[in-house]
Amino acid sequence: MARQDKELDASRRTLLGLGTALAGATLLPSAPAGAAKANGPFPKGFLWGAAIAGHQAEGDNVASDAWLLENIQPTEFKEPSGAAVDHYRLYDQDIAILAGLGLNTFRFSIEWARVEPVEGMFSVAALEHYRDVLLSCRSHGVKSMVSFNHFVTPAWFAARGGWEAEGSPQLYARYCDKVARHLGDLIDYVTTFNEPNLPRLLFGIPGPLSGMADNPRMRQMLARAGQLAGTGKWSSWIFGDFAKIEAGLLQGHAAGFQAIKTVRPQLPVGLSFAIADDQAVDGGEAMVARKRAIAYEPWFKAISEHGDFIGVQTYTRELIGPDGVRPPPKDARFTSAHMEYYPQALEATIRYTAQHVKVPIFVTENGVSTDDDAVRSAYIRTAVGGVAKCLKDGIPVKGYVHWSLLDNFEWIFGFGPHYGLIAVDRTTMKRTVKPSARTLGQIAKANGIAA
């Protein structure tokens, strides 16, 4: 393997582990952890759900920035998304399965690149497709939680400089206005963005990923994208100048919030953000404070000024020393995606978030990548048990949405990591419900965790 390929493979592994190192790790055992003690019932009206994202599940999102980045050379992506798991065609079947499990909430995203494939040209056909998805939710008795942007933007938007470019917040607000006018009567909850703080979470303090922005392969990929787009510049998702992207996203959230609220004043609008359970070790308290100031506090401020709720998205913990991110303990267990198995992290991040915002909290993503489904069931029970403890202490948690409903495309890592409650045969697109899906369904039906 060439040196460049080795560096790329290493960066993929570290990114997927949210900056954790692999040294001394052991794979998860087959047997699940001990069952959580009885908790419940949860409050009446509590939302129990599962999530997908448009680009990761729908397939053939050909007008998007991600599609181009996946299909050029060099690329940071292990493989292209292609048909993904064909959710664009099979959405009603997927929602029916979700409802049949006993879940009452479906979180998904609307693809901006489908709605506005060319700047200023809005596709009624695409909007009507998403209307059909929302009507499917209604027909199956499922609430809809819709992200107006889950990382991916139209290719034309990236080619003009993405979130770094002047006027990007206004273009996003125009898109939000169109979607809210066409679909807002059927949507139950909106998030403007999914994990807009992710670059800061991953790269904000010294750690294994600190030099990723200067990766020669990354620069070559972006240069090639700009060349193919005919503009000579390209910025999208986490591929660009993080400081400028963050500034554009913060303005975009405010502008999008205002646009949606102007059209649908009663529609709850928030955002979801990525957060790890940051644990100081060996005197790392100052570095933890630095990370939180960089990765979380700007978005706490944003939601306090423009937000009806906040979505917490947690998978694991991160150990931080005075010099930056530390490897997990030598006896740590790891998931198949090279994250430390640590479902207790969710309770800690909910408590931390509640200290900094005074709006309702939803768990909008939480899950584990594993091919041992008993491990997923154990993870769910422990994580949900942590939510129950937060509720017992008066923290206003309103729902738990699992990532993900389907095994789907996981960005630069391709289709390898399996987070889904439902397996997908990508040759036939056949869905197979896993036992962990029934575990979460049983919790939802009981509105609590049985002993």
Give the catalytic positions in this structure: 365
β 26-27/47-51 pair status: unpaired
CB 16 within 8 A of CB 76: no
- Alpha carbon 286 to its chain's center: 28
126 CB neighbour count, 10 Å cutoff: 20
Q: Where are the beta strands (DSSP E) in 36-128?
A: 47-51, 105-109
> Six-digit token pair at 177?
């206005």
Composition of the chain by helix, strand, coil, percent to 5: 45, 15, 40
- Say if strands 47-51 and 397-403 run parallel, antiparallel, or are unpaired: parallel
Q: Where are the beta strands (DSSP E) in 23-157?
A: 26-27, 47-51, 105-109, 143-147
CB 398 within 8 A of CB 47: yes
26-32 long-range contacts, Cβ below 8 Å, gap at least 24?
Answer: 26/331, 26/332, 26/333, 26/334, 27/333, 27/334, 27/336, 28/333, 28/334, 28/335, 28/336, 28/341, 28/370, 28/372, 28/375, 29/333, 30/372, 30/374, 30/375, 31/374, 32/374, 32/375, 32/377, 32/378
Please, are residues 268 and 309 in contact by the beta-carbon 8 Å criterion? yes
For the chain, the C-alpha Rg in angstroms (whole number) is 20
Q: Which two tokens stand for residue 315?
A: 């998978």
Helix 297-305 with 285-295: angle, nearest 10 deg = 40
Closest to 444 measured CA to CA, from 146, 105, 155, 188: 105
Return d(Cα 348, Cα 343) in angstroms, integer. 10
| Beta carbons of 109 and 151 less than 8 angstroms apart | no
Q: Which two tokens mark 451?
A: 């002993």
